[in-house]
Structure 1
Amino acid sequence: MKRFFIILASVFILAMVTVPTYAAVTDQQKAEIDALNQQIVDLQKQIVDKYAEAGEISKAQADASKANIDQAEQYRQQYTQQNGAVAPVPGYGPGTGYGRGYCGGWGANAGGYYGGCW
């Protein structure tokens, strides 16, 4: 029985040491993630431009929304630098940022999908 607990403890310690190694994000993966996030930012701005082009929002509202998108991207970059690339970024998970709908949100995450309420 004592041998069983020693083996179990060894396996547990080994698992605790190896899991962070596999969870580490490589520099190439970080670059790919940053490129994908930049594509998201560009697409969000294109969508805002299309709304302005269609007359759904004014030029001033589009500019404010795009400024909010830029500010959110800057925050994402700072947050991941401070907390690591694998840290969850506020606004990218369920119940925050994306998916709150038109002008949805509260507190620091107010603004919904496109970075502001027009």
Structure 2
Amino acid sequence: MKRRLSVIFASLVIVTMVAVPTYAAISDQQKTEINALNKQMAETQKQIVDKYAEAGEISKAQSDATKANIDASEQYRQQYSQQQPGQIAPNHGYAPGSGYGNGCCGGANYYGGMW
């Protein structure tokens, strides 16, 4: 159950990481098409989450939280897709390596301290 939510969230992160740098090299028409596809993908992901909730694989609270994450990722993508080439979107502590307890295998949560 948690694994499925993790996979959904990871796919959102990957899409966001790939879409933002690619944005700089494309035309306005292509950006519009990509925006439409990203919105469609977000809606499809929410439908998938709803189906898991209907099947009893996840709770209503988990469903709501996951859909809120999907919305937040979409909002973040839209906000920072308008940047000029070369600008970097802030990670606000959500990306690996951004502080204590974050990231894959380090931080305060793994060994109980920084190292």
TM-score band, normalised by the shorter chain? 0.5 to 0.7
**Which residue in 1 is equivalent to 2:57?**
56
Shift of the 29–60 alpha-carbon distance from structure 1 to 2, 3 Å rule, reads same
SS at match of 1:35: helix
**Which residue in 1 is equivalent to 2:3?**
none
Shift of the 52–109 alpha-carbon distance from structure 1 to 2, 3 Å rule, reads farther
SS at match of 2:82: helix
Runs of 4+ in 1 over 6 A off after TM superposition: none
Whole-angstrom CA distance in 2 between matches of 1:24 and 1:32? 14
SS at match of 1:82: coil
SS at match of 2:52: helix
**Which residue in 2 is equivalent to 1:108?**
94
Whole-angstrom CA distance in 2 between matches of 1:24 and 1:54? 42
Between the two proteins, the alignment pairs up a number of residues equal to: 71
RMSD value, Cα:
2.8
Shift of the 109–52 alpha-carbon distance from structure 1 to 2, 3 Å rule, reads farther
**Which residue in 2 is equivalent to 1:44?**
45
Residue identity in the other structure for 1:43: T
What are the Cα deviations for residues 24-56 of structure 1, in whole angstroms up to 9, with x where unaligned?
A: 422211110001101110111011000000001
Shift of the 83–54 alpha-carbon distance from structure 1 to 2, 3 Å rule, reads farther
Residue identity in the other structure for 1:64: A
Shift of residue 73, structure 1, vs aligned partner = 0.6
Residue identity in the other structure for 1:81: Q
**Which residue in 2 is equivalent to 1:26?**
27
**Is residue 2:59 matched to residue 1:73?**
no
Return 5+ residue gaps in structure 1 as ranges: 1-22, 90-106, 111-118
Question: Which protein has the larger Cα radius of gyration, Structure 1 or Structure 2?
Answer: 1
